[in-house]
Amino acid sequence: MNNHEVGSLQEKLLVKDMMTCQVVTVPHDLTMEQVKALLGDMAITGAPVVDDKGRICGIVSMFDVLKALEENLLSLPVAGRMSTPVIVTTPDSTVAEAIALFRQHRFNRLPVVDGERVVGMLTPGDIVRKLANVLKLDLVEEAAGPQENRTILQWAEEFPVAAGEFGQAGEVSIAIKKKLQEAGLSPLVIKKAVIAAYEAEMNMVIHSHGGAFEVRMTPEGVLMTARDQGPGIEDVAKAMEEGFSTAPQNIRRMGFGAGMGLPNIKRSVDSLEITSRIGQGTEVKMVIHFQDGGLNENKTDHQ
């Protein structure tokens, strides 16, 4: 599944397909004390507030409760402490539209309203779970806490790499870049991963008899392994030196053979292990650990 397909999926799937229908609403005349008890009892972190006629008039979260607690104002009615106006979505909005709202406003729940009546609730977690379901991916939820709605999908994929195929060279790295973007990783993590992937892929194309490139996404980081079928590296320490290259002349004319590939990998990854046996093959294992969850902070690319 490529970027484009996920994009069109977001256009096709509707909010009503993934929202939670059982919504707890808070009557506007409850005190913050009562809201605290209600949220606690229902084990939720926030809820829409409705007026006498059941129309949505605000949204209140545990955060508002904490603030009221701090200021010793738990006895006040929720009407004066809730957030207004509420940003809402509708059952027939597309998921793409909902995602845009989450991006824009940086909140974690979006009431779904039909007219002024609350008919559901949508969180980024709902969207991720539904998409994962549709895409048949395993889902690994990160530990609850301030990042309760941030999730990383766990997956692995293997790409064949053919020797001497300059016509396709870079294809694997470009495919990997797209997968990492889809996964929502931060630009820095993606940059490191694609540099390492590109150099390892080109080394397989130029110096080996071909092999396979495996990418594995875990909640902790990106693991990439390039395995080829030989001829192997005689002296790995020497190969790691900047400027060392055995690239033949015709390849150097194309701009390869600076002897910078392995050093570039070394700089980009947190851990690099090269195992090589002459006549058997080389395995290059690269790991990039996530800091801060490794997820994107909303940066867009012009490509």
Ligand X SMILES: Nc1ncnc2c1ncn2[C@@H]1O[C@H](COP(=O)(O)OP(=O)(O)OP(=O)(O)O)[C@@H](O)[C@H]1O
Q: 210 is in the binding site of which of ligand X, another protein, Mg ion, none (Cβ under 5 to 8 A by kind)? A: none
Pick the piece of the chain touching Mg ion (CB under 5 A) from 99-107, 157-165, 190-198, 258-266.
Answer: 258-266
Q: At its nearest, how many Å lie between another protein and the CB of residue 171? A: 8
- Please tell me whether residue 102 binds another protein under the rule CB under 8 A: no
**# of chain residues touching Mg ion (CB under 5 A):** 2
80 token code pair: 């004066």
Site residues (CB under 6 A) for ligand X, limited to 211-230:
228
Q: Which is nearer to another protein, 211 or 257 (CB)?
A: 257
- Please tell me whether residue 159 binds ligand X under the rule CB under 6 A: no
Site residues (CB under 6 A) for ligand X, limited to 172-201:
199
- Please tell me whether residue 261 binds ligand X under the rule CB under 6 A: yes
234 token code pair: 């005689």
Using the structure block, give the residue that is written with the tokens 């990418």.
215
3-state secondary structure the chain: CCHHHHHHHHHHCEHHHHCECCCCCEECCCEHHHHHHHHHHHCCCEEEEECCCCEEEEEEEHHHHHHHHHCCCCCCEHHHCCECCCCCECCCCEHHHHHHHHHHHCCCCEEEEECCEEEEEECHHHHHHHHHHHHCCEEEECCCCCCCCCEEEEEEEEEEECCCCCCCCCHHHHHHHHHHHHCCECHHHHHHHHHHHHHHHHHHHHHCCCEEEEEEECCCEEEEEEEECCCCCCCHHHHCCCCCCCCCHHHHCCCCCCCCHHHHHHHHCCEEEEEEECCCEEEEEEEEECCHHHECCCCCCCC
- Please tell me whether residue 170 binds ligand X under the rule CB under 6 A: no
Among 27, 77, 91, 170, binds another protein (CB under 8 A): 170
**# of chain residues touching another protein (CB under 8 A):** 30
- Please tell me whether residue 7 binds another protein under the rule CB under 8 A: no
Q: At its nearest, how many Å lie between ligand X and the CB of residue 196? A: 11
Pick the piece of the chain touching ligand X (CB under 6 A) from 36-44, 67-75, 119-127, 251-259.
Answer: 251-259
Q: Which is nearer to another protein, 191 or 216 (CB)?
A: 191
Among 67, 267, 270, 280, binds another protein (CB under 8 A): 267
- Please tell me whether residue 262 binds ligand X under the rule CB under 6 A: yes
Distance of CA 141 to the CA centre of its chain: 12
* Number of Cα atoms under 13 Å in the Cβ half of residue 49: 23
From the list 250, 179, 247, the residue with the least C-alpha distance to 216 is 179
Pick the piece of the chain touching Mg ion (CB under 5 A) from 34-42, 47-55, 198-206, 226-234.
Answer: 198-206
Q: Which is nearer to another protein, 137 or 258 (CB)?
A: 258
Which residues here bind Mg ion, judged by CB under 5 A?
203, 261
Which residues here bind ligand X, judged by CB under 6 A?
199, 203-204, 206-208, 228, 231, 233, 239, 244-247, 256-262, 282
Which residues here bind another protein, judged by CB under 8 A?
166-171, 173-174, 177, 187, 191, 194-195, 198-199, 202, 254-261, 263-264, 267, 301-303
